[in-house]
Structure 1
Amino acid sequence: MTRINTNVSSLVAQNRLQSSNTDLQQSLTRLSTGLRINAGSDDPAGLLASEALRSEITGLTKAISNTTRASQIISTADNALGQVSNLLSEVRGLVVEAANTGGLSKEEISANQLQIDSSLEAINRISQTTTFQGRKLLDGSQDFISNLGSVPGVKDFTIEQANLGATGNLDVEVNVQSAASQASVDLGGAAFDPPLNANAAASTELAVNKYYHAVSPTSGIWITGEFDTVSFVDDGNFNNFPAASITDGDLLLTYDSFDQPHSISLSASAINSLPGIEAEAVGLTYQFTQQTVTPKAVHKSLEVSRSDGGNIAIQYTDSDQAATAVSYDEQTNTVSVALGTDEEEKAFLNIAQRINDLSSFGDGVELEATVYDSEGNEASGAAQRLDLTADDFNSINSNFEPALHDDLVFELKGSSGSETFQFSSGTTNLQIAAAVNLVSDSTGVVASTDNGLTFFSEDYGSEALVEVDVISEGANGNFGNNLNVSRSQGTDIQATVNGVEAGGKGNHFSINTASLDLSLTVEEGSSSNFSFRISGGGATFQIGPDVSSTQRATLGISSVSTGQLGGSSGRLYELGSGQAKSLENDPRGAIEVIDEVIGKVVGMRGRLGSFQSTTLESSLISLNETKANLQEAESSIRDADFAQESANLTRAQILVQSGTNVLSLANQNPRNVLSLLG
């Protein structure tokens, strides 16, 4: 019984010693590797969590590396653009200096042009040589690919950022709700009077030639088109069907009445074969063509004048009465001609006769009407029957030159500045418009006389302004009273891009969303809708730990070559020698282009800088902080607690030592018993 107890004690001591040795070995392993989990058996759940965190940390590490490199690429491009900006500033200074033609010689201006040419070459060189590890940054290879350049009505565009998603393309639809408008101020016609004693006449000219060749009282051929004279020749030796030709405006119809068919129907068909001329046989179309040997000039114009040399105007209308009626309004100095339905009443000579038959008016004033043919000679002889309507005459049949009733002083304000104008009584609207347009570059306002007198802004949009302030006007003047408004402002374009309302300024609008950052400039006053596709391109930067569209940033870096830099005013290369906007040809146009280009380059630098500071640097900070947090979490799961493991080692060592002693004592008891028995 004692031996059994002794063996049990020894077995217990051995088990405890083995367990202590295992604990000791685990503690030594953890302390030597620094890890709490060295095998899956140490902590299966902890191992899974630790490996998942390690994978995320690896992705974050690469994302930090990618973001750092992207920042370096952007810095490289920005530094190059900074040099382009410096060159553009120098070019602008040279253009301004060269505009001083009164103080510079031609040789000095030519020297400035040489410097501009050199600067343009340097900009092209920067565009081609700015690289990062062999990849060009400013030659347009990092820009987006789209068909916007071929869309009608689009003058300029910039795709700054686009998320092309998994498909690699993006369809964009632009809907224009309202076009941009100019500011305008209109004047009514009562603001002006016709000038006195102008010694003028009103002339009406047919818009197209019309000729009627009569073969009988009821039959003939109508001829309409581009010709000056008409001849019908009966040639007995022609021996053919009627044939037509035209040379230097002379229309010739040749037929043979001796032995060949020559009806007016056949003659009309021959004339119809000529380009730009139409002929129609009317009445009895089978009747023979009658001969007209002498070329007959076409009645082309009607001129009416007053016996006192005053102004006169002619106004044509279509009447439903058979006869053509003529009347005269002394208040407006206008002859009104109501064309009747009877074709014989519509000939120029018949109209002239009715005007000449009008009675004399106040102070013995009489009207005189004269008809001229296509050769400029006064027409005589029988009147040609012309199938005329009011639309057949040119719209300009009055020589009135509107003029001011009295002296006038007014100030004209625009978005660029203001000017004060002073005019005397009798100044015409053409003279006022010429004075305004002479200084339009300093006011931003131009004038048009297409409909009386209109002042309108050169620019479009809410910043466009026209303001007319009448400072003084004579008692008889009606200028101020006939202004439709004294101040007018334009409106900006209103449009949506893929359903998102765009911010408009003049004819320019833009959007900035998570999927698209785009700016567009359309033609002046355009209201056309259009669509286009972004099919690729751009510089794509992976700035997140996962490969997905939400963790990538795509940026468009457009070309800064002189052929691409520019906008609605022109391209930068046009400032070169011999080009349209060189110092010799158009220094004002050169300033407009260079200002637009400077704005574009500055915008590019601002966009790149914003992308670097807000997107890349903020992302880099976030990535580093996330990585640190994940490393701490992974360390808490897998790494060993040295204090705890040291304590466990000491405990295990004590247990091993004590277990060894106990086992030694347990092993001594049987020997002691055996020694007693012996």
Structure 2
Amino acid sequence: MTRINTNVSSLVAQNRLQSSNADLQKSLTRLSTGLRINSGSDDPAGLLASEALRSEITGLTKSISNTQRASQIISTADSALGQVSNLLNDVRGLIVEAGNSGALSSDEIAANQLQIDSSLEAINRIAQTTTFQGRKLLDGSQDYVSTVGSVSSIKDASIDQAKLGTTGKIDVSVDIKKAAEKASVDIASDAFNAADIDPTSNSEVAINELDITVGGEVITVRGNADLLASVEIEANNSLDAVAAVKAGSESGDIVIEVDGDTNASDVDDVLAALNGIDGLEATTAGAGTGAATAAVAQVTASAGDAANIEVTGDGLDSVTVNYVVGTDAAASAAFDADTNTVTVSLGTDADANTLSNIKTAITASDASISADIVDAAGDTTAANDSITISTTDLPAEATATKVTAGLKDDLVFQLSGTDGAETFNFGAGTTLDQIKSAVNLVSDATGVEASGTTSLTFTSSAYGTDALVSIDVISEGDDGAFSDSLSATRAVGKDIEASVNGVKASGNGNSLSINTSTLDLSLTVDEGSSTDFSFSITGGGATFQLGPAVNSTQQASLGIGSVSTGKLGGASGRLYELGSGQAKSLTNDVIGAGKIIDEVISKVVGARGRLGSFQSTTLESNLVSLNDTKANLQEAESSIRDADFAQESANLTRAQILVQSGTNVLSLANQNPQNVLSLLR
């Protein structure tokens, strides 16, 4: 019994010793590797979680290096663009200096031009030599490839960012809902007096009346003497049973061509051809069915008959009718009761100047007068109604006097526009044309232009809400009506309203832009254009992988356009045009050169700002975010997989004590049988 107990004690001690040795071995392994999980058997679930975290950490590590590389590329491009900006500023200074042509000699201006040429060469050189690991950055190779150049209504385009996705293409559709507008202020004609008009009085129109025989019928033709001298019939068998006025004979000696073969023209065809001539009236008492032939002899009319506008009124002994050249399309009339004079302003539309229309205008001008159309004998006849008075051939002895408009009283006003303000001082009687000339003379300083014939319109040169026309009337005489005739004292333009692929675009004058997660672009269309258009972006751009997963949401695409002199520019022109012999050189157009350089500087500064914004807000923030995420994932992975040295050290000490204790117990257990045997001996 004692031996059995001894063996059991020894076995237990051995088992405890083995367990303690295993714990000691694990603790030693964990302390030596620093890992809590050294094999799948240590913690299967923990191993899976740890490996997943390690994979994410690896992707984050590469994303961080990608972001740092992208930032280095952007810094390289920005540094080169900074040098381009310096050169452009130097060019602008030279242009401003060349504007002082009154103080600079031609040799000095030529020297400035040479310096500009050198700067343009330097800009082209920078565009070609700015590289990163052999990849050119500013020559346009990093810009997007698109069909925007095929749209005729686009004056300038910039595609800053586009995600092409799996299809590798974006179709862009632009719907212009409202075109951009200029600022405009109207001054009605009430602001001006009509100038004195005193043409010779004569209301008679000399007419001819002649009879010709066609197809056995007599055709009576009436018309202005200058329009109707004779009528002749000629054969033209290719007309296919119609009649026509021979080319070049619409006035004076009129020739009517008729079809004389088996498909002969008839009298009605000749009547239609004659009545198709403005100012002529042809009639016949016959049936109009007789066949027209070319055998009719030429008939010459006798001049001297006249049609007259006869004006009468209650209590009036006589009324004078004066003809002048008007500015409206229709004929109009005005009656002056003080002088018993009717002034007829002929219309700019020739068809509007018939005696019938003039009669109507006179009758409508004043209720106290009436008008009739009479012939030389004083008889009223409808045959004269369609006779037309030409603005280039007024009645005999009448003088064509153009109506001019003048201010009713002295006027001083300040005109302000987008570019500046000017004060104008005009005296009473200053004509509308004189005001227009004065305003347009300084339009480059104010940004406001003047136009109009019977009224005046001030219009901004620019488009959009930044465009301004403001009129401040400083003083005006008591009889003046300028202030009261203003449609407004201040007006602004309207920006273009459009959508791009259904997204409402921001408008600025004739320019529109959108910035979404997939597309960032700006376009400038023709002035006042309302034409819809579309184009496609088919590739290009610089794509940067900024996230641990390879998909479009974790990539950033950026377009870096060319800064060569042939590409830099805007609506006013391209930078190369500032070179020697070009359209905007210092000797050819220094003002145009100034406009181009301002647009180019704005575009380069905008490109630098866009790159800087991408670097600071996208790349640097992404770098911070990636580093924070990586640190958190590393901490999580460490908490799962790494060994706790304090805990493992304690475990090791405990295991060592247990091993030592087990060894001692086992030693004692092994000594008991020996002691028993020694007693037995």
TM-score (norm 1): 0.77
Measure, in 1, the Cα distance between the counterparts of 2:595 and 2:212: 60
> Is 1:38–2:38 an aligned residue pair?
yes
CA offsets per residue over residues 401-441 of structure 1, 9 Å max, x none?
Answer: 22223332222111221111122333221111011000011
Equivalent position SS for 1:458: strand
Aligned to 1:95: 95
Aligned to 2:475: 472
> Is 1:524–2:555 an aligned residue pair?
no
Q: CA RMSD in A?
A: 4.6
Kept after mapping to 2: 8 A contact 1:80/1:130:
yes
Measure, in 1, the Cα distance between the counterparts of 2:352 and 2:264: 25
Aligned to 1:445: 448
CA offsets per residue over residues 155-191 of structure 1, 9 Å max, x none?
Answer: 2232222333333333444344433322211111222
CA offsets per residue over residues 517-558 of structure 1, 9 Å max, x none?
Answer: 232323323334444433332211111111222221111212
Following superposition of structure 1 onto structure 2, how do residues 192-203 of structure 1 map, counting pairs within 5 Å? Answer: 192-196=192-196
Measure, in 2, the Cα distance between the counterparts of 1:524 and 1:155: 9
Measure, in 2, the Cα distance between the counterparts of 1:93 and 1:22: 85
CA offsets per residue over residues 15-61 of structure 1, 9 Å max, x none?
Answer: 12211221222122112211111100011111111101100100110
Measure, in 1, the Cα distance between the counterparts of 2:352 and 2:509: 52
Measure, in 2, the Cα distance between the counterparts of 1:425 and 1:165: 69
Using the TM superposition, give the Cα deviation of residue 76 of structure 1 relative to its aligned residue in structure 2, in angstroms. Answer: 0.6
Measure, in 1, the Cα distance between the counterparts of 2:532 and 2:438: 38
> Is 1:183–2:183 an aligned residue pair?
yes
CA offsets per residue over residues 240-276 of structure 1, 9 Å max, x none?
Answer: x99999799999999999xx7795579x99xx9xxxx
Using the TM superposition, give the Cα deviation of residue 631 of structure 1 relative to its aligned residue in structure 2, in angstroms. Answer: 1.0
Following superposition of structure 1 onto structure 2, how do residues 70-81 of structure 1 map, counting pairs within 5 Å? Answer: 70-81=70-81
Kept after mapping to 1: 8 A contact 2:233/2:294:
no
Aligned to 2:645: 642
> Is 1:2–2:5 an aligned residue pair?
no
Following superposition of structure 1 onto structure 2, how do residues 481-560 of structure 1 map, counting pairs within 5 Å? Answer: 481-560=484-563
Q: For 2:604, which of 601, 606, 612 is the aligned residue? A: 601
Kept after mapping to 2: 8 A contact 1:131/1:137:
yes
Count of residues in correspondence between the two structures: 604
Using the TM superposition, give the Cα deviation of residue 81 of structure 1 relative to its aligned residue in structure 2, in angstroms. Answer: 0.6
Aligned to 2:120: 120
The one-letter code sitting in structure 2 at the alignment partner of 1:335 is V
Using the TM superposition, give the Cα deviation of residue 595 of structure 1 relative to its aligned residue in structure 2, in angstroms. Answer: 0.5
TM-score (norm 2): 0.76
Q: For 2:291, which of 270, 286, 290 is the aligned residue? A: 286
Equivalent position SS for 2:512: strand
Cα–Cα, structure 1 residues 348 and 198, in superposed 2: closer, same or farther, change >3 Å? Answer: closer
Kept after mapping to 2: 8 A contact 1:314/1:335:
no
Measure, in 2, the Cα distance between the counterparts of 1:643 and 1:417: 79
Using the TM superposition, give the Cα deviation of residue 597 of structure 1 relative to its aligned residue in structure 2, in angstroms. Answer: 0.9
> Is 1:335–2:352 an aligned residue pair?
no
Moved more, 525-534 or 245-254: 245-254
Equivalent position SS for 1:600: helix
Measure, in 2, the Cα distance between the counterparts of 1:228 and 1:13: 146
The one-letter code sitting in structure 1 at the alignment partner of 2:424 is F
Following superposition of structure 1 onto structure 2, how do residues 130-145 of structure 1 map, counting pairs within 5 Å? Answer: 130-145=130-145
Equivalent position SS for 2:623: helix
The one-letter code sitting in structure 2 at the alignment partner of 1:447 is A
Measure, in 1, the Cα distance between the counterparts of 2:328 and 2:656: 125
Cα–Cα, structure 1 residues 645 and 528, in superposed 2: closer, same or farther, change >3 Å? Answer: same
Cα–Cα, structure 1 residues 213 and 513, in superposed 2: closer, same or farther, change >3 Å? Answer: farther
Kept after mapping to 1: 8 A contact 2:323/2:343:
no
Following superposition of structure 1 onto structure 2, how do residues 279-678 of structure 1 map, counting pairs within 5 Å? Answer: 283-284=288-289, 286-290=291-295, 311-313=324-326, 329-330=335-336, 334-335=343-344, 399-450=402-453, 452-678=455-681
Moved more, 435-444 or 142-151: 142-151
Cα–Cα, structure 1 residues 175 and 48, in superposed 2: closer, same or farther, change >3 Å? Answer: same
Measure, in 2, the Cα distance between the counterparts of 1:561 and 1:30: 63
Using the TM superposition, give the Cα deviation of residue 599 of structure 1 relative to its aligned residue in structure 2, in angstroms. Answer: 0.6
Aligned to 2:367: none
Kept after mapping to 1: 8 A contact 2:447/2:461:
yes
Measure, in 2, the Cα distance between the counterparts of 1:386 and 1:667: 155
CA offsets per residue over residues 43-100 of structure 1, 9 Å max, x none?
Answer: 1111111101100100110000000001001001100110110111111111111111
Aligned to 2:61: 61
CA offsets per residue over residues 639-672 of structure 1, 9 Å max, x none?
Answer: 1122222222222222222222222232233333
Using the TM superposition, give the Cα deviation of residue 123 of structure 1 relative to its aligned residue in structure 2, in angstroms. Answer: 1.3
Equivalent position SS for 1:50: helix
Measure, in 2, the Cα distance between the counterparts of 1:88 and 1:642: 64
Kept after mapping to 2: 8 A contact 1:139/1:559:
yes
Measure, in 1, the Cα distance between the counterparts of 2:558 and 2:630: 26
Measure, in 2, the Cα distance between the counterparts of 1:458 and 1:548: 48
Moved more, 39-48 or 569-578: 569-578
The one-letter code sitting in structure 2 at the alignment partner of 1:289 is A
Moved more, 103-112 or 159-168: 159-168
Cα–Cα, structure 1 residues 78 and 229, in superposed 2: closer, same or farther, change >3 Å? Answer: farther
Kept after mapping to 1: 8 A contact 2:505/2:512:
yes
Cα–Cα, structure 1 residues 623 and 230, in superposed 2: closer, same or farther, change >3 Å? Answer: farther
Measure, in 2, the Cα distance between the counterparts of 1:14 and 1:121: 92
Moved more, 66-75 or 620-629: 620-629
Aligned to 1:205: none
Equivalent position SS for 2:159: strand
Percent identity between the aligned chains? 61
Cα–Cα, structure 1 residues 19 and 349, in superposed 2: closer, same or farther, change >3 Å? Answer: closer
Measure, in 1, the Cα distance between the counterparts of 2:389 and 2:573: 41
Residue segments in structure 2 that go unaligned for 5+ positions in a row:
203-210, 222-226, 274-281, 302-306, 310-318, 364-382, 395-399
The one-letter code sitting in structure 1 at the alignment partner of 2:433 is L
Kept after mapping to 2: 8 A contact 1:194/1:311:
no
Kept after mapping to 1: 8 A contact 2:175/2:499:
yes
